[in-house]
Amino acid sequence: MERFLKPNIKKEGREIAYFSMEVGLTSDMPTYSGGLGVLAGDTIKSFVDLKVPAVAVSLVYNKGFFRQSIDEEGNQHEKEDDWDKNRFLTLLPNKVSVTIENRNVQIQCWEYMAKSDTGYFVPVYFLDTDVEGNDDYDRTLTHWLYGGDKRYRFHQEMVLGIGGVRMLKELGYSASKFHMNEGHSALLILELLNETMSDIEQDYEKKYDFETVKEMCVFTTHTPVPAGHDSFDMDMVNNSLGDFYPMDKLESNRDGKLCMTYLALNHSSYINGVAKKHGEVSRHMFPGYQIDSITNGVHSKSWVCDSFQKLFDLHLPGWGKDPYNLRYALSISNEEIWNAHILAKTQLMDYIRDTQGIELDTSIMTIGFARRSTQYKRADLIFNNIEKLMDVEKNGQIQIIYAGKAHPNDSGGKEIIKRIVEIGKRISDRIKVVYLPDYKISLGKILISGVDLWLNTPKRPLEASGTSGMKAMHNGVPNLSILDGWWIEGCIEGETGWSIGPLITSHEQENDDIQDSDDLYYKLKDIIIPMYYNDRNRWIRIMKHCIAFNASFFNTHRMVQQYVINAYF
């Protein structure tokens, strides 16, 4: 009875091996922390829908990222996120090992099958060092995402890069392209070099087939500042790796350290940034490298709320399989668009009432802001001048909903949450401010579809791409954002949303908080609020433009097609 058996994954045809430090596939599998992981998950989902012969590799994180709660004063509290892997994953019998600091570390793996209605599958392998017989420390290497010190991180990256390549081989795969989603997995280059090493050549120079390995590697960089790039002390690196690898032959040095970005840049045949602007910033940061750009996207079907799914099913059949169909959203009636939006908004308000005991008014214009809480995102920019904000509110009521975790070590990020909660209390008689705890995929979906306006205020050029605004677009929610990352491409002023402050083109120009917040107040007061309350038809036209012009393009189906065309085959 073959149809009852688990599908037999054809391993020999899997040309693409996709490596990512974090993968966010569903809300309850805490193997991601934020944008990078959600992007990886969405990418894998589009691989499935488009039947791209890929296989993905990550780490399992037995203790998850962390669960966040926020107290009355706005302090963040963190709790371990123990989860039941057996609910989602199957432990395979296969094992490989990696030598770390002369210790033999056994690695096992958990299999996740990403599937779609087409019947196609993409396997995702989550590596796990919590294996009996391993040293206590080694057993913790796959416990915490972005936890521990530099040494711990490097050892995690050894498991991911070196262990990942070995595991794929052990499982019977023979990929021809290795896609590194950010530099964390760049040690896979070492293992590929090892695999292609010929024993015949005596000449050390010729032992490693650098050219073949380069041909096999694809690198996507996500970090627009030099300090953001992972680098490790050479002593620790040598001590960890042993003399097994041709470190002296690799071009990966930066200031005497092993820089994962340089390792990947020098040994990949295709390199890209994640938005046009980010490509440009990366070329400026790494002169001499050919760096292309493929703008990120989101998996359309995963980020459209129920009411809009129904509407799209009715008017734009096939939109999930082929999101280019979203281009025709202009033909949907205003009334239907607005009704679908009000359903989503009511759901959000219900969620907030049920979980926080706070009643918000569905008729008030609602602004949403959710992302990792860290200083450069400037979540509190809208509170830069409270007097001016109060003046804005005279033109029509607003309420603001926040969410976002601060990394446990990021005290600046925690301060911002505290500040928002404190200011929220002070101005609550005029503007209601709610900070929702434990931002994750499921909450993200409720939030981005249920607000009227999506706000983003990062310091330029630090938003390499940004994706939550794209999710909002899929639900007809316009953005009000700094011109950075994807929004430089997606913003048609007054048609898909609004920009904040100037477009900065020079690489030296600084961000001016006052200039940016003043522009934010001006746009809200004189353009956005009056239109929302007094010209609803104009507002709904903008909502349709968001879907037609932006959701039809800023999705992972288009993005994966661009990787196929430019990077993979």
Q: Applying CB under 6 A, which residues contact ligand PLP? A: 34-35, 38, 371, 439-441, 444, 466-468, 471
Q: How far is the CB of 35 from ligand PLP (least distance, A)?
A: 3
List Cα–Cα distances, 59 to 23, 79, 372, in angstroms. 9, 20, 21
Tokens, residue 250: 């690799």
Select 55 or 370, whichever has its Cβ closest to ligand PLP: 370
Those residues with Cβ within 8 angstroms of residue 535's Cβ, 6 or more apart along the chain or in another chain: none
CB 416 within 8 A of CB 379: yes
Select 261 or 468, whichever has its Cβ closest to ligand PLP: 468
* Strand (E) or helix (H) holding 560: helix 556-563
For residue 117, give the 3-state DSSP assignment. Answer: coil
List Cα–Cα distances, 508 to 328, 363, 511, in angstroms. 41, 43, 10
Select 141 or 348, whichever has its Cβ closest to ligand PLP: 348
Q: How far is the CB of 403 from ligand PLP (least distance, A)?
A: 8
Select 323 or 466, whichever has its Cβ closest to ligand PLP: 466
Q: How far is the CB of 130 from ligand PLP (least distance, A)?
A: 25
Q: How far is the CB of 302 from ligand PLP (least distance, A)?
A: 10
Select 58 or 240, whichever has its Cβ closest to ligand PLP: 58
Q: What is the 3-state secondary structure of 59-115?
A: ECCCCCCCEEEECCCCCEEEECCCCCHHHCCEEEEEEEEEEECCEEEEEEEEEEEEE
CA atoms within 13 A on the CB side of 387: 0
Sequence letter at residue 142: T
Select 35 or 450, whichever has its Cβ closest to ligand PLP: 35
b/e code 128-165 from CB counts within 10 Å (16+ = b): bbbeeebeebbbbbbbbbbbeeebebbbbbbbbbbbbb
Angle between helices 334-356 and 536-545 (to 10 degrees): 90
Q: How far is the CB of 127 from ligand PLP (least distance, A)?
A: 23
Q: How far is the CB of 257 from ligand PLP (least distance, A)?
A: 28
Select 68 or 108, whichever has its Cβ closest to ligand PLP: 68
Q: How far is the CB of 274 from ligand PLP (least distance, A)?
A: 10
Residue 203, phi then psi, degrees to nearest 5: -65, 115
Nearest of 148, 212, 216 to residue 159 by alpha carbon = 148
Q: How far is the CB of 413 from ligand PLP (least distance, A)?
A: 13
Q: How far is the CB of 361 from ligand PLP (least distance, A)?
A: 26
Select 341 or 377, whichever has its Cβ closest to ligand PLP: 377
Select 161 or 476, whichever has its Cβ closest to ligand PLP: 476
Tokens, residue 233: 């002390």
Tokens, residue 124: 């995702």
Rounded to whole angstroms, the maximal C-alpha distance in the chain is: 80
Q: How far is the CB of 467 from ligand PLP (least distance, A)?
A: 4
Write out the E strands in 309-403: 365-370, 398-403
Select 312 or 487, whichever has its Cβ closest to ligand PLP: 487
